[in-house]
Amino acid sequence: MVFDEIMSETWLGTIPAIQAIILIIGCWFYMSGGRSGKWKRRFIGSFICATALWVGLLLMGLFNPLSLLAYPLLIWGFCMGYGAEIPLTKVIKRLNIVLAVSSTGLLMCLILGGNAWVILPLQLLIAGGSIWLGVKNPLQAAPEEFFVCLLLTECLIMYPAVRAIF
C-alpha cells in the first residue's frame, strides 16, 4: 500500500498543526524561564519542544528511539548562556546556541536520511535569526524570548513531514 493511500492530505496537514501547538507551548516555557526558574526553560521547555518532534515522528510512522536524543541536545542548547556586553561576544555566544539547538536537525538528518537534509540549511538560517533578535533586542524581553525559541526550534516539526512526503 502506498503511503498516500494510508494517510489523507487533511491528516498529513493536521500533523504539523498539532506539532506547532505543542511547540508553541514549549516556547512559552522557554520564555517563562527567562528571568527566573531557568529549569522551566532548560528542562520543561526543551522537553515540550522535543515532544513536538516526537509526536510528528510517531504520527508519520517514522519514530526511531534515537530521536529521543533530541531532548538532551535541546537541554544543552537551552542551558547555554547568551548575555554579554561586547557585541561580538554576544554574537558568538548566540551562534553557539544556534549550533547546539540545530544539532537536533543534524540528528534528524542522520536518522531519517533522504530529503531531510534539505531542511537542515533552512533550520540553520532561520535559527540564525535568533542571533539578530538577541543582539539588536528590538522587542521587549518576554516576547523576544518566545520568538527566539520559536526561531531556534520551528524547523524541527518539518523533519517528519519532509521525509514522509518525498
Instruction: Give the distance, in angstroms, between the CA of residue 134 and the centroid of all CA atoms in the same chain.
Output: 17
Tell me the whole-structure pTM to 2 decimals.
0.90
Letter for the amino acid at 131? I
> What pLDDT, on a 0 to 100 scale, did the predictor assign at position 1?
40
CB 96 within 8 A of CB 84: no
Q: How confident is the model at residue 155 (pLDDT cuts 50, 70, 90)?
A: very high
Where is pLDDT greater, at 54 or 115? 54
Confidence of residue 133 (pLDDT cuts 50, 70, 90): confident
Q: Is the pLDDT score of 71 beyond 80?
A: yes
- CA atoms of 43 and 129, how far apart (whole Å): 23
- Residue 148 pLDDT: 92
